Structure 1
Amino acid sequence: MRLRWVRYTVLGAALVTVTNTAPVQADTGDPFAGAPGAGDPYYPLDGNGGYRAEHYDVTVGYNPAGHQLTGSTRVDAVATQAMHTFDLDYSGPQVSKVTVNGLPAGFDRTDEHELVVTPMLPLLPGLPFAVQVEYAGAVTGTDGAGWVFSPSGGAFVAGEPHSASSWYPLNDTPSNKATFALHATVPAEWEVMSNGVKTHDVVQGGNRTVDWEMRQPVAGYLTTIAIDRFEFLEQRTAGGTPLLSAFAPDALQAKGIEQRLPEILDFEEQLYGPYPFDTAGGIYVDTDLQFSLETQSRPIYAPWTDLGTVVHEIAHQWWGDSMSVQHWSDVCLNECFASYTADYLWPERKDGKDVDAQYRETVTKYHDNPKFWEIALQNPGAGNEFTSVYYRGPLFLHALRRTMGEAAFFAAVHDFAGAHRYGNASMPEFRQFVQSRTPVNLDGFFGAWLDRTDRPADEFLYPGSLRS
């Protein structure tokens, strides 16, 4: 995610955030009930216990007139414990029917986003099961947590850390990634964009039906549906990856930026390894959106998007998408790397910018501003995830690079991303991995940059070539 209003600077004495403090996780006390949350320290009721989702098959119809949604979602999962009841995360329109393994199931909605399901027959650990949920009704527009309505009358879904539950039921935690398929029907004059590969696009009668497949596992908030009167741009990388990008009616001016996507992908493959998905592209909306978001394989770009924003969101395809956080406290793995790629590596290697000088100028500017240093990069706290990772994160990575040396740093980050391809990672794992790749003792460095809430000591602030 790249934020319009922060743009990596401190806004006076305060920082804008885009998250809310999470409620305390409920404890059912029932050993045969899947937990109502996955236990993320920041969002304990996100996700669910008792099973792992493996695939989502989402069938929706959407009528822009009245914002009416009909849906039928199948969740293929495996039980990790014996259960007579379990939860799905869902905050969308009214549910009319739920089945488990083809048999009618009881259901209830509790809290803000819990769909409690009681199957007719108990579920046994280690065995697969399938849940089908049918629902329909009007959707409500939000700002960064689900449906967003476009000036043309279209709509799209975007938000971090929450958005997916507004349009289909799921296990909504980045620690449970699954493959994803979408089958969407809209009036014939509208187009549909989503993640992955478009496998079907047919107009019949007055409707258009479009199928999409995300064949690599994806976290829920990185899935999307976008409906608009799009114009398209098809490209291909030098290595043959097909690219499909879409532009809302008042976003056509962004085509010039998106035409550089093959160049951007080639640049980032050199840094982080082969592009991890079957296809790439972008969805350029013309709605007054305060962020752009790295929706998997096809980011959503706000009207203010510039080249740096595209570089940032494409870096997320490695850092955040293919390799996802274990918990939201690990968000530096997403945003520190995307910001460093866009704000330091691209300007340095493409434009010849002196990034050591850029680093020193930034440190000098905020050297004596305690607000700049007060939010830790590792475990910043619920509600502060999307703050210091943008403006302190690039400084941390540049100082780490100068501490380790060029060869060791770039080999380590390349290999770490590759080792966690299609999986999850944590900041403690990153620290341990990086330490294993250099003889330099990094304990003090990591403590100063990641754990502390004040300015690092000069020995960590000005390593190597950063010394004056």
Structure 2
Amino acid sequence: MFRRHGLRAVAAACCATALWASPALAGSEGPGAPGAGDDYFPGYGNGGYDVSHYDIQVRYQPADDHLQGTTTIVARPTQDLTAFNLDFALTPKSVLVNGVPAEFSQQGTELTVTPPDTLPEGSLATFVIDYEGVPSTVEVDGLNPWIRTADGALAVGQPEISAWWFPGNDHPRDKATFDIAVTVPEGTEVVANGVNTARSDLAGWTTWKWRTTKPTATYLAFFAAGQYEVNERVGAFGQPYLSAYSDGLGELEGPAKASVERTPEVLEFLSDLLGEYPVEAQGGVVSSEGMDFALENQTRPTYSHLFFRDGANTSVVVHENAHQWFGDSVSVDTWRNIWLNEGFASYAEWLWSEAHGTGTAQELFDHYYAQYPADDPFWQVTPGDPGKDDVFHAAVYDRGAMAVHALRTVVGDEALLDIVRTWVSEKRYSTGTIEEFIDLAEQKSGQQLDELFDAWLFTPGRPPVGAATGVSASALRVQAPPKAVAELDRTHALLHEH
């Protein structure tokens, strides 16, 4: 009980301190902060301005991985801004601010721009950055998330990727809409977010243009370039559906298609639970190399071929599409809150299993509770604050899903549905914290839930049996695992390793 309220108070105090100490304080004049104030990743994101739109135009040559680009950023200063930072790892050639050349310097992924004149708070500002580089050769602080393949590249990663192909404000707190144009040698396909608005050929090159009109976090903007079979049709809710399968999938092509082509069916199922689908397009991309994970790129998740080695896998499709609500539309306010993404996406898999007769959520809860003995190190990672190095730990997924089921057990099905539907509706296109979710759960259920959330999210060790923790004695009995377990385990082994 003390732990949870202590964390809530500390989080509130930290936010207040960051607000009042930051040079991005509204009404002040000075440089914007070089970070968004995330304890796990203090250098990610920036202060002093708010982005509304990115126009990204890149020319990419698969033969040598050379990328040349121009990104135009539409933003509004949140203070009288004398300088600002962009998160970027490639080599900037020039920067224009409101059409005028600006001075700039770069250290790591911090691109600091000093415009010739102060940008007034609330004014319309445009930043135009010309750049180039070979993304696969650029390493910053030991990191290089860029994925080069034999026939192209995958600009896919979490939480880092955008800085390796466009400059921006790289934190989920600053979402924007995107136009993405990628020019590649003729005969190469490109898939990105949203809707394909145009495609044109000129002098041996093809330009693919994509647009997403819903606010999107920078790490969820992506493109995949290479040799793909691209399929288009009408999907769920009458929306455009597009899937793409790498030509190199071989014998995995069948199970990959048998899984991803069920996306509209999965979205219908999830919308019945969570409410209106929050984005404007749907589909998926399956790579044949380079990736060992899946990622919920907004409107179009991307999957490694490895998920389909043992046959069709709908669990990963459910997981990544549940993220369109939990993670994409409602994003983490800071990366400490990752349970709000992964716990609920993992629990969506349990609900799919329950609906399709391969194991109820209670059976899956009992299985995982018994599978990890009380002294297993698994229980030492707390989903509510896993630490920077354990953001994608198995406990965030499996213990995270168990936490959701424990909440369901304590408050009941009707209250849980009310909680999650209200959460995704009221927080749409914004961010949220675990503390805000707990407050909503207590408000909607009319119950005091300190013991439940403290045990499941913030206390190391296996939560004890008890009505307040949502754990019945049946969870201590090892039983034959439900049919869904094998697929869930294969899925999560890849997801949390990322």
Could you state the TM-score of these two structures normalised by the residue count of structure 1?
0.90
Q: Does 1:314 align with 2:311?
A: no
Match of 2:284 in 1: 282
74, 77, 88: which is aligned to 1:90? 88
* Bigger relative contact order, structure 1 or 2 (CA pairs below 8 A, ≥6 apart): 1
**CA apart distance, 1:144:** 8.3
Q: Does 1:458 align with 2:456?
A: no
Match of 2:122 in 1: 126
Inter-partner Cα distance in structure 2 for 1:67 and 1:127 = 38
Query: Higher helix share goes to which structure?
Result: 2
Match of 1:265 in 2: 267
Inter-partner Cα distance in structure 2 for 1:27 and 1:438 = 37
Match of 1:356 in 2: 362
**CA apart distance, 1:462:** 4.3
**CA apart distance, 1:205:** 2.8
- Structure 1 residue runs of 4 or more that deviate by more than 3 Å after TM superposition: 25-31, 141-146, 460-468
SS of equivalent residue, structure 1 residue 324: strand
Inter-partner Cα distance in structure 2 for 1:373 and 1:150 = 37
Q: Does 1:429 align with 2:425?
A: no
Inter-partner Cα distance in structure 2 for 1:229 and 1:453 = 47
SS of equivalent residue, structure 1 residue 127: coil
Inter-partner Cα distance in structure 2 for 1:466 and 1:429 = 31
Superposed, 1:6-405 pairs within 5 Å as: 32-92=30-90, 94-110=91-107, 112-140=108-136, 145-151=144-150, 153-251=151-249, 252-253=253-254, 254-305=256-307, 306-342=313-349, 344-387=350-393, 388-405=395-412
Q: Is the 8 A contact 2:58 2:182 kept in 1?
A: yes
Q: Evaluate the alpha carbon distance shift between residue 464 and residue 411 of structure 1 in structure 2; reply closer, same or farther with a 3 A threshold.
A: farther
Q: Is the 8 A contact 1:402 1:464 kept in 2?
A: no
| CA deviation string 1:98-123 (max 9, x = no partner) | 0100001001101x200110101111
The worse-fitting range, judged by mean Cα deviation, of 425-434 and 438-447 is 438-447
Inter-partner Cα distance in structure 2 for 1:233 and 1:353 = 33
Q: Evaluate the alpha carbon distance shift between residue 277 and residue 28 of structure 1 in structure 2; reply closer, same or farther with a 3 A threshold.
A: closer
Q: Is the 8 A contact 2:50 2:76 kept in 1?
A: yes
Aligned length: 440
Q: Evaluate the alpha carbon distance shift between residue 238 and residue 108 of structure 1 in structure 2; reply closer, same or farther with a 3 A threshold.
A: closer
The worse-fitting range, judged by mean Cα deviation, of 437-446 and 240-249 is 437-446
Q: Is the 8 A contact 1:145 1:158 kept in 2?
A: no
**CA apart distance, 1:216:** 0.5
**CA apart distance, 1:234:** 2.1
Match of 2:8 in 1: none
SS of equivalent residue, structure 2 residue 460: coil
Q: Is the 8 A contact 2:367 2:475 kept in 1?
A: no
| CA deviation string 1:261-294 (max 9, x = no partner) | 1111111111111111111011111114221110
SS of equivalent residue, structure 2 residue 321: helix
Q: Is the 8 A contact 1:316 1:338 kept in 2?
A: yes
Inter-partner Cα distance in structure 1 for 2:315 and 2:475 = 28
RMSD: 2.1
**CA apart distance, 1:369:** 2.4
Q: Is the 8 A contact 1:75 1:131 kept in 2?
A: yes
Q: Is the 8 A contact 1:58 1:181 kept in 2?
A: yes
The worse-fitting range, judged by mean Cα deviation, of 214-223 and 249-258 is 249-258
SS of equivalent residue, structure 1 residue 437: helix
SS of equivalent residue, structure 1 residue 123: coil
Q: Does 1:417 align with 2:424?
A: yes
SS of equivalent residue, structure 1 residue 347: helix
Inter-partner Cα distance in structure 1 for 2:55 and 2:70 = 8
**CA apart distance, 1:457:** 2.4
Inter-partner Cα distance in structure 1 for 2:279 and 2:414 = 27
**CA apart distance, 1:352:** 4.7
| CA deviation string 1:237-260 (max 9, x = no partner) | 352112101111123331121221
Q: Is the 8 A contact 1:144 1:160 kept in 2?
A: no
**CA apart distance, 1:466:** 5.9
Q: Is the 8 A contact 1:52 1:80 kept in 2?
A: yes
Could you state the TM-score of these two structures normalised by the residue count of structure 2?
0.85
Q: Is the 8 A contact 2:374 2:461 kept in 1?
A: no
SS of equivalent residue, structure 1 residue 78: strand
Inter-partner Cα distance in structure 2 for 1:211 and 1:325 = 29
Q: Is the 8 A contact 2:23 2:30 kept in 1?
A: no
Inter-partner Cα distance in structure 1 for 2:72 and 2:54 = 6
Q: Is the 8 A contact 1:147 1:156 kept in 2?
A: yes
5+ residue gaps, structure 2, are: 1-17, 308-312, 477-498
Inter-partner Cα distance in structure 2 for 1:167 and 1:440 = 47
5+ residue gaps, structure 1, are: 1-24
Inter-partner Cα distance in structure 2 for 1:358 and 1:156 = 34
SS of equivalent residue, structure 1 residue 392: helix
SS of equivalent residue, structure 2 residue 445: coil
Q: Evaluate the alpha carbon distance shift between residue 434 and residue 462 of structure 1 in structure 2; reply closer, same or farther with a 3 A threshold.
A: closer
Q: What amino acid sits opposite 1:148 in the alignment?
A: I
Inter-partner Cα distance in structure 2 for 1:438 and 1:205 = 63
Q: Is the 8 A contact 1:403 1:463 kept in 2?
A: no
Inter-partner Cα distance in structure 1 for 2:270 and 2:197 = 27
| CA deviation string 1:4-28 (max 9, x = no partner) | xxxxxxxxxxxxxxxxxxxxx9999
**CA apart distance, 1:454:** 1.7
